[in-house]
Amino acid sequence: MKRKDFFNLAAIIFGLVATLHLLRFFKSWDIMIGTYEIPLWISLVVGVVAAVMAFNGWKMGSK
């Protein structure tokens, strides 16, 4: 796999992860693991970090 293709694929994956986490945050979807409920603020943090990683991957892939 070429370097450019790798960064584009990583950007797509991180973009999907960011979208799902930010949707969960804004729609207030609950996630339960056993009896523990995952707080919404975790999805906000993970969504922003994944969005930054997707943007950086897209930039690196377009070089």
Question: Domain locations in the chain?
Answer: 3-61
- 50, 17 Cβ separation under 8 angstroms: yes
What single string gives the DSSP state of each residue in 7-28? HHHHHHHHHHHHHHHHHHHHHT
Judge whether residue 62 has pLDDT over 90.
no
Q: Cα(41)–Cα(48) distance, rounded to whole angstroms?
A: 11
Instruction: Please report the pLDDT score of residue 26 as a whole number.
Output: 96
pLDDT tens-digit map of 9-45: 999 999 999 999 999 999 999 999 999 999 999 999 9
Residue pair 57/11 in contact (Cβ under 8 Å)? The answer is yes
pLDDT-based confidence at 63, cuts 50/70/90? confident
pTM for the whole structure? 0.87
